[in-house]
């Protein structure tokens, strides 16, 4: 039996905490002292990136916060604009570094203090990206010596580095205890693939191959996101996650608002903000967030102005609306059926043209009609992806 004692549980006053398995533990702590929440993030983010790699054949990375992904992505070269959004400058990026930069770049505010996960070996390029960001730890199947040296120096030598056996397969049955009562179920080992996209129920039945990659990315991300959940994705990058909401429309709105912010960050005015010298990356992210909002308070505006050498030219509400209207070809996934068409109406405002969801609502017909009005292609998988 393998076991590992942890500093404490979810909170410091929960003093007794540990990991254990009937066999050998598949994880090895190479640096730091990961806690209970760290390992919850690690052991949810690892299967996400592992399944993304299996489904796509591409290196994958995720940025996890509080047992849900803040972002996930597949490796791809970054455009000049995306390099600036992801704050990677002129660094030479390996596939692992590309994937992680994009995973964080989908929602840099939420990725602050994240847990990073990689489907493949972390090399020096990926480690240099991690070094520059505020992050609590990382899990990967392996690390190059150069990468490990960089990571072990982070946070004064306390950065959490975990290695996992890539061949480890969990037992078929999983058990958890809540309030002293044990729950047992068959583990959700279903890996979503392009084969799950064959049932297209809308008039528009065109799903380009690149879009199928995005829809699979959305489905696998949903599988490891606290429900209810909705995910927006584009070009191999998750650009908006709505997690843990009690109402599906709130998931769709939250994820859509994040997708809008992701796209607004690429507006020329946002890309060319006159930041003062020495501003940290998190400070820049906070300032950009305030710059893009319409409802900031006088106190927030004071903080916002302090981030710049000169007051930047405003991005008006009308300019934002015009810019967002140019975002097209966005994919959306939902972990359960849409009960009302309002989800489709909101999704369309953020450029969604492709949807994947289980289907099965008594109102499916109305949801399909809404998709047809917008020219959206929607596939129904028949597979719910709740995660708790």
Q: Is residue 385 part of a domain?
A: no
Per-residue model confidence (pLDDT) at position 282? 92
Task: Say if residue 83 is in the same domain as residue 198.
Answer: no
Last residue of a domain, one of 147, 164, 181: 164
Q: Is residue 319 part of a domain?
A: no
Q: Is residue 174 part of a domain?
A: no
d(CA 101, CA 103): 6
Q: Is residue 183 part of a domain?
A: no
Task: Say if residue 228 is in the same domain as residue 145.
Answer: no
Query: Closest Cα to residue 134, out of 336, 306, 280?
Result: 280
Q: Is residue 270 part of a domain?
A: no
Instruction: Look up 387 and say whether it is catalytic.
Output: no
Would you give per-residue pLDDT tens digits along the chain (388 residues)?
778 888 888 999 998 888 888 888 899 999 999 999 999 999 999 999 999 999 999 999 999 999 999 999 999 999 999 999 999 989 999 999 999 999 999 999 999 999 999 999 999 999 999 999 999 999 999 999 999 999 999 999 999 999 999 999 999 999 999 999 999 999 999 999 999 999 999 999 999 999 999 999 999 999 999 999 999 999 999 999 999 999 999 999 999 999 999 999 999 999 999 999 999 999 999 999 999 998 888 888 888 889 999 999 999 999 999 999 999 999 999 999 999 999 999 999 999 999 999 999 999 999 999 999 999 999 999 999 999 9
Task: Say if residue 350 is in the same domain as residue 294.
Answer: no
Task: Say if residue 121 is in the same domain as residue 253.
Answer: no
Instruction: Look up 388 and say whether it is catalytic.
Output: yes
Per annotation, catalytic residue among 31, 228, 286, 343: 228
d(CA 194, CA 184): 30
Instruction: Look up 188 and say whether it is catalytic.
Output: no
Task: Say if residue 75 is in the same domain as residue 197.
Answer: no
Per-residue model confidence (pLDDT) at position 298? 86
Q: Is residue 269 part of a domain?
A: no
Task: Say if residue 291 is in the same domain as residue 339.
Answer: no
Q: Is residue 317 part of a domain?
A: no
Number of domains in the chain: 3
Task: Say if residue 299 is in the same domain as residue 359.
Answer: no
pTM: 0.95
Helix, strand and coil in the chain, % to nearest 5: 40, 20, 40
User: At a CB cut-off of 8 Å and minimum separation 6, what does 251 contact?
Assistant: 228, 229, 230, 242, 243, 245, 334
Query: What residues make up the domain containing 210?
Result: 191-264+324-380
106: domain CATH number is: 3.40.140.20
Per annotation, catalytic residue among 66, 155, 284, 387: 66
d(CA 55, CA 174): 23
Beta strand spans in 46-178 (E): 60-65, 68-74, 114-118, 135-140, 160-164, 173-178
Task: Say if residue 72 is in the same domain as residue 158.
Answer: yes
DSSP string of 334-356, one letter each residue: ESS--SSTHHHHHHHHTTEEEEE
Per annotation, catalytic residue among 50, 65, 234, 267: 65
Task: Say if residue 119 is in the same domain as residue 238.
Answer: no
Residues facing 65 on adjacent strands: 68
Q: Is residue 180 part of a domain?
A: no
Three-class SS state of 372: helix
Task: Say if residue 244 is in the same domain as residue 159.
Answer: no
Task: Say if residue 247 is in the same domain as residue 366.
Answer: yes
Per-residue model confidence (pLDDT) at position 100? 98
Task: Say if residue 350 is in the same domain as residue 296.
Answer: no
Instruction: Look up 267 and say whether it is catalytic.
Output: no
Last residue of a domain, one of 145, 164, 183: 164
């Amino acid at each position: 039996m393998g076991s590992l004692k942890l500093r404490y549980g979810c909170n410091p006053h929960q003093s007794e905490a540990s990991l254990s398995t009937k066999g050998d533990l598949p994880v090895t702590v190479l640096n730091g002292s990961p806690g209970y929440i760290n390992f919850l993030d690690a052991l949810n983010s690892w299967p996400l990136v592992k399944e993304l790699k299996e489904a796509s054949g591409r290196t994958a990375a995720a940025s996890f916060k509080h047992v849900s992904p803040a972002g996930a992505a597949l490796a791809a070269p970054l455009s000049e604009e995306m390099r600036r959004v992801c704050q990677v400058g002129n660094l030479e990026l390996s596939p692992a570094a590309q994937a992680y930069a994009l995973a964080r770049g989908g929602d840099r505010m939420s990725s602050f203090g994240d847990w990073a996960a990689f489907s493949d070996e972390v090399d020096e390029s990926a480690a240099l990206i991690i070094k520059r960001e505020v992050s609590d730890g990382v899990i990967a199947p392996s690390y190059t010596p150069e990468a490990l040296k960089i990571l072990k120096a982070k946070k004064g030598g306390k950065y959490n580095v975990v290695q996992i056996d890539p061949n480890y397969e969990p037992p078929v049955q999983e058990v958890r205890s809540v309030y002293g009562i044990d729950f047992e179920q068959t583990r959700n080992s279903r890996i979503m693939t392009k084969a799950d996209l064959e049932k297209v129920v809308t008039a528009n039945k065109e799903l380009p191959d690149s879009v199928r990659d995005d829809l699979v990315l959305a489905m696998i991300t949903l599988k490891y996101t606290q429900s209810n959940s909705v995910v927006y994705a584009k070009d191999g990058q998750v650009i908006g996650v709505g997690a843990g909401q009690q109402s599906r429309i709130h998931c769709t709105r939250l994820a859509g608002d994040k997708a809008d912010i992701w796209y607004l960050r690429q507006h020329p005015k946002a890309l060319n903000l006159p930041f003062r010298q020495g501003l940290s990356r998190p400070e820049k992210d906070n300032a950009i967030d305030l710059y893009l909002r319409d409802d900031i308070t006088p106190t927030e505006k004071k903080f916002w102005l302090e981030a710049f050498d000169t007051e930047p030219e405003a991005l008006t509400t009308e300019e934002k609306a015009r810019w967002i209207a140019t975002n097209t070809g966005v994919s959306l996934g939902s972990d359960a059926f849409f009960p009302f068409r309002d989800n489709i109406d909101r999704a369309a405002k953020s450029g969604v043209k492709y949807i994947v969801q289980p289907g099965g609502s008594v109102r499916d017909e109305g949801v399909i009609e809404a998709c047809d009005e917008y020219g959206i292609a929607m596939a129904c998988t028949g597979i719910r992806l709740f995660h708790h």
